[in-house]
A and B are shown apart, each in its own frame.
Chain A
Amino acid sequence: MADTIDRSGTPLVEMRDISIAFGGIKAVNHVSVDLFPGEVVGLLGHNGAGKSTLIKCLSGAYRMDAGEIFINGDKAAINNPRDARRYNIETIYQTLALADNLDAASNLFLGRELTTPVGLVDDARMEAETRQIMGRLNPNFQKFSAPVSALSGGQRQSVAIARAVYFNARILIMDEPTAALGPQETRMVADLIDELKRQGLGIFLIDHDVHQVKELCDRAAVMKNGELVGVVDVDSVSVDDILAMIIAGKKPQMAA
């Protein structure tokens, strides 16, 4: 998949020496990864390896204990999700982070509502925008007036994806975005990732499917027990090499 990403310039995102602990558990322990424009970096690791925790430091959901984040080479202060949004970082959380009692449009625009000239929320316009983007992402989606609690797991995931894509992100974080999707919808997300990549976005993709990572990503970063095992160019390693990294924590000899 790696059609020559230019990694000579400043990275879009550089996470340096990130650490965060919950009580005694070092969920992320001195991890450094970077991401270049137009690049997809896969994050892999066993359950509880610390993948979600790492990206939550970038999305502002958690405040890291130590480490630094650079966006376009400048040190970024990300203390809450609003800060992250200001840096054009959009996130699809593993838990989807939807308010179940609200409809798709309200969720899509949550925190960034469109308003009428007098400052009231413009539900009709938000629904129209939602219909438009959902038509692109998941044409089968029809339940626009139902609360998202009435949607299937995959439909909910589509709403979360639409929210991340709608606001012109430059950095996209996708935490297992296809976990609940059917084959056709998964295909559409893969196409979407390719398209966004071509537009120059940088994408962190967390996924347990090694084949999918090899197909969609340029590089793969593997974590184990909160530590970074290594970052490899997906084209220069085999599926078995990556599996060995995930399971045994062994970095292959010829890694990039």
Chain B
Amino acid sequence: MSDSPALPKAAPGMRNLARTLEIDTRLLGMIGAFIALCLVFHFLTDGRFLTPRNIFNLTIQTVSVGIMATGMVFVIVTRHIDLSVGSLLATCSAMMAMTQTLVTPEWLGLGLNHPLTAPAAIVVGLGTGIVIGAFHGWLIGYLGIPAFIVTLGGLLVWRNVAWYLTNGQTIGPLDGNFQLFGGIGGTLGETWSWVFGLICAAAALYAIWQSRRNKISHDFPVKPLWAEIALGALVTAAILGFIAILNAYQIPERRLERMFEARGEVLPEGFTAGYGLPISVLLLIAVAVTMTIIANRTRLGRYIFATGGNPDAAELSGINTRLLTVKVFIMMGILCAISAVVASSRQTFHSNDIGTLDELRVIAAAVIGGTALAGGVGTIYGAILGALIMQSLQSGMAMVGVDAPFQNIVVGTVLVVAVLIDTIYRKRTGD
């Protein structure tokens, strides 16, 4: 995924520039590959790929796998694997669906679309994820059963626990507020999207400035000021550009009419509105930021990477690696539950096959994003980019009209080739 053929030749200059900017070259490679992929599909679809509408859809399709992929990074970094995430998602989804269609409206007598329904369902879902994740972690960390086996069992168990919870039925429609997390059903609108974008940009600039100040205060070398400014400008442009694109996707007139009708008003002549940032994408961004902070700035994250790099050294440094395993799988469980919220509300109902094969997509996203199966190496942003690349590939091929079987052949091949390129890259750069 990293080298396009042109990159190695241009390397010395490019790499020096990257080093001055302190951007990791693998990230650049992945972004390059992603952009190349988008341009190819844009060309092949006669300009239908890079439209606001398609970009909007791409992002909401990526959210569920992207959220789980961030957790899979920690699992794989600690030299484990989780094959059960798709099934775990299904069980969380089933629990939440039953809560909001049976428990709160009927047993508790709150009726349909009560404001407490969605929060109650989400709490139940998160609880389910935490309990099952902790159980997996305990089996792996304290009883010493390999994660591969525990989660292979979990793959079968939780898929069918979900089936029993719902008697194999499709449960829906889900609660109205709950459906706000589904993507197109819940967006911030143009104004709030801009507000959010500006806050993000300001936060990013503050982080860059803060890090520079911190380095100066310890007399560490800093990159040249122009590089810092260029990086800040780039980040700001990327954030605001993304918001602008999502805002440019216009809500269809008929839908606007219905929205105004619901409020007892009439759609004014010539009124238009963009969707803006979906709440589900907001959720993914929040997860990504939180997980990145955990990975880079907390003891927990430090211990996760240390344990992945050398479990014995971690143990000898006083780290409780068994408890750490439990914590990692609890995080994975929580993220499966969050993904279950997004996935079920996106389809507006719970179905038996929800999350099927997600374990493979999630693992592929993490691995394409540079997470090493040998442990100790991986990044959150890489996993999300990996998820985005996988999703673009899939939807791009669907738009071009590639047969479904051939789509899977391509995705499988890309996974293997991406890891091959990454292996070669690591050998050459020596890290």
B318 at the interface (CB under 8 A from A): yes
Query: Hey, which chain B residues are within 8 Å of A124, CB to CB?
Result: 214-215, 217-218, 220
A120:B218 contact, CB within 8 angstroms: no
Contact of A127 among B218, B307, B376 (CB under 8 A): B218
A100:B309 contact, CB within 8 angstroms: yes
B271-310 near A? 1/0 per residue, CB < 8 Å: 0000000000000000000000100011100110111111
B409 at the interface (CB under 8 A from A): no
A113:B313 contact, CB within 8 angstroms: no
Query: Hey, which chain B residues are within 8 Å of A110, CB to CB?
Result: 302, 306, 313-314, 317, 319
Q: Point out which of A85, A96, A97, A125 has the most chain B C-beta atoms below 10 A from its C-beta.
A: A97
With A85-B318, A97-B316, A110-B319 already in contact, the answer to whether A120 and B298 are too (CB < 8 A) is: yes
Q: A91 to B315, alpha carbons, bound, how many Å?
A: 13
A111 at the interface (CB under 8 A from B): yes
Query: Hey, which chain B residues are within 8 Å of A99, CB to CB?
Result: 305-307, 309-310, 313-314, 376
Q: A127 to B218, alpha carbons, bound, how many Å?
A: 9
Contact of B293 among A80, A106, A120, A150 (CB under 8 A): A120
Query: Hey, which chain A residues are within 8 Å of B377, CB to CB?
Result: 101
A115 at the interface (CB under 8 A from B): yes
Q: A119 to B294, alpha carbons, bound, how many Å?
A: 11
A106:B306 contact, CB within 8 angstroms: yes
Considering the complex, give the chain A residue whose CB is closest to the CB of B217: A124
With A95-B312, A100-B376 already in contact, the answer to whether A121 and B318 are too (CB < 8 A) is: no
A93 at the interface (CB under 8 A from B): yes
A128:B309 contact, CB within 8 angstroms: no
Contact of A81 among B218, B305, B316, B430 (CB under 8 A): B316
> For chain B residues 350-399, which have a beta carbon within 8 Å of chain A?
376-377
Query: Hey, which chain B residues are within 8 Å of A252, CB to CB?
Result: none
With A81-B316, A81-B317, A99-B314 already in contact, the answer to whether A150 and B302 are too (CB < 8 A) is: no
Q: A125 to B219, alpha carbons, bound, how many Å?
A: 11
With A85-B318, A127-B220, A150-B430 already in contact, the answer to whether A121 and B297 are too (CB < 8 A) is: yes
Considering the complex, give the chain A residue whose CB is closest to the CB of B378: A101
A2 at the interface (CB under 8 A from B): no
A39-65 near B? 1/0 per residue, CB < 8 Å: 000000000000000000001010000
A51 to chain B, nearest CB (A): 17
B431 at the interface (CB under 8 A from A): yes
Q: Point out which of A81, A97, A111, A147 has the most chain B C-beta atoms below 10 A from its C-beta.
A: A111
Contact of B318 among A107, A111, A128, A150 (CB under 8 A): A111
Q: Tally inter-chain residue pairs, CB-CB below 8 A.
A: 83
> For chain B residues 385-431, which have a beta carbon within 8 Å of chain A?
430-431
Query: Hey, which chain B residues are within 8 Å of A115, CB to CB?
Result: 299
Chain A interface extent, by class: 20 to 34
> For chain A residues 133-156, which have a beta carbon within 8 Å of chain B?
147, 149-150
Q: A51 to B147, alpha carbons, bound, how many Å?
A: 35
Query: Hey, which chain A residues are within 8 Å of B306, CB to CB?
Result: 99, 101-102, 106, 110
B310 to chain A, nearest CB (A): 5
B309:A102 contact, CB within 8 angstroms: yes
B299:A113 contact, CB within 8 angstroms: yes
Considering the complex, give the chain A residue whose CB is closest to the CB of B211: A124
B261 to chain A, nearest CB (A): 48
A93:B308 contact, CB within 8 angstroms: no
A98:B308 contact, CB within 8 angstroms: no
Q: A150 to B314, alpha carbons, bound, how many Å?
A: 19
Query: Hey, which chain A residues are within 8 Å of B302, CB to CB?
Result: 102, 106, 110, 113, 121
Query: Hey, which chain A residues are within 8 Å of B214, CB to CB?
Result: 124
With A113-B302, A124-B214 already in contact, the answer to whether A101 and B318 are too (CB < 8 A) is: no
Query: Hey, which chain A residues are within 8 Å of B430, CB to CB?
Result: 150
A75 at the interface (CB under 8 A from B): no
Considering the complex, give the chain B residue whose CB is closest to the CB of A115: B299
Query: Hey, which chain B residues are within 8 Å of A187, CB to CB?
Result: none
Q: A91-B316, A98-B313 are in contact. List 20 more A-B contacts (CB 8 A).
A: A59-B316, A61-B316, A81-B316, A85-B318, A98-B310, A99-B307, A100-B310, A101-B306, A101-B308, A101-B310, A110-B317, A111-B317, A111-B318, A111-B319, A112-B318, A120-B298, A121-B297, A121-B299, A121-B302, A147-B431
Show 15 residue pairs from A and B whose CB-CB distance is below 8 angstroms, ordered by the A residue.
Answer: A59-B316, A80-B318, A81-B317, A91-B316, A97-B310, A97-B316, A98-B310, A99-B306, A100-B310, A101-B306, A101-B309, A112-B318, A125-B218, A127-B218, A127-B220
8 nearest A-B pairs in the assembled complex, by CB-CB distance: A101-B309, A99-B309, A111-B317, A101-B376, A82-B318, A97-B313, A99-B306, A111-B318
